[in-house]
Amino acid sequence: MDAKTRIARRVAQELHDGDVVNLGIGLPTLVAHHLPSNIEVCLQSENGFIGLAPLTGEPEPGLVNAGGQPCGLAPGGAMFDSAMSFALIRGGHVDVTVLGGLQVDQHGNLANWMVPDKMIPGMGGAMDLVTGAKRVIVAMEHCTKDGAPRLLERCTLPLTAAARVSLVVTELAVFSCDRGRFTLEELAPGVDLATLAARTGAGFDLALPAAAHHRNSLRSMC
């Protein structure tokens, strides 16, 4: 299983039956393919509807996801304009937003919309989503292509929003952010703490009892 699939599968476990969820473009979109069969979530698409579903059959005129790709519409869906869409997002009516990230820091800050002088796509709906959703989950690969850590003490890239990230899921681990520290909630199978620490640009606390379990398994592996 590749890193992205592993991350998407793990994020899917965070969603609950009945949640209203917005999935960002790219990796977060994959989460929809890994939802447990016993839950139903309602996907919000910021271009103006509730009920985003996979495309089945021929594309329908005007029906695209927030990446501009043809998509489907679940029964019970609803279409609306951009003001309503962002009233839902900003107004706390979206339970979970899952977004990609360039950097996340221990204060819960997220940077994911630009790299000065290099890549300036714009924030699109990301700033509103991170500010307004009840829970913000960042789904990203643990390090950059060059191997630099993305989890940091302090983001160096321009922020998308301050102190809003609840959970970070990477292919190596799951961290929560609270009170200015990362807490390791879960270690991916086959990953040891020393490797994780070496690839993480900030200190982290261990959550109990899950981390204790990993410590024990680490000891037993040694």
Partner 1 sequence: MQATDTKRRSKLACPDELNHHLRDGMRIMFGGFMGVGTPERLVAAILRHGARRLTLIGNDTAFPHSGVGPLIASGQVERVITSHIGTNPVTGRKMLAGQIAVELVPQGTLAERIRCGGAGLGGVLTPTGVGTMVAEGKMRQLIDGREYLLELPLRAELAILHAKRADQAGNLVYERAARNFNPLMALAADKVIAEVEEIVDTGEIDPDQVMTPGILVDHLILAESH
| Residues labelled as active-site residues | 46
Sign of the torsion angle spanned by Cα atoms 110, 195, 191, 182: negative
By beta-carbon proximity to partner 1, the closer residue of 115 and 208 is 115
By beta-carbon proximity to partner 1, the closer residue of 64 and 193 is 64
Q: Decide if residue 48 touches partner 1 (CB under 8 A).
A: yes
Cβ neighbours of residue 81 under 8 Å, at least 6 residues apart? 48
By beta-carbon proximity to partner 1, the closer residue of 26 and 203 is 26
160 burial level (CB within 10 Å; 0-12, 13-18, 19+): buried
Which window, 29-37, 61-69, 194-202, 212-220, contacts partner 1 (CB under 8 A)? 61-69
Q: Decide if residue 17 touches partner 1 (CB under 8 A).
A: no
Minimum distance, C-beta of residue 178 to partner 1, in the bound complex (Å): 17
For 131, phi then psi, to 5°, come to: -75, -35
Which residue bears the tokens 């929809």? 32
Q: Decide if residue 123 touches partner 1 (CB under 8 A).
A: yes
What's the Cα-to-Cα distance from 70 to each of 66, 74, 156, 164, 197, rounded to whole Å? 10, 14, 36, 31, 41
Chain positions 130 to 149 lying near partner 1, rule: CB under 8 A, are 131-132
Which window, 26-34, 35-43, 96-104, 124-132, contacts partner 1 (CB under 8 A)? 124-132
Closest CA to 8 of 23, 30, 24, 26: 30
CB environment 32-48: b (16+ within 10 A), e (fewer): bebbeeeeebbbbbbbb
Binding mask 71-110 for partner 1 (x = CB under 8 A): --x-----xxxxx-xx--xx------------------x-
Minimum distance, C-beta of residue 89 to partner 1, in the bound complex (Å): 6
Closest CA to 99 of 180, 4, 15, 168: 168
**What residues make contact with partner 1 under the rule CB under 8 A?**
45-49, 60-64, 66-68, 73, 79-83, 85-86, 89-90, 109, 117, 120-128, 131-132, 158-163
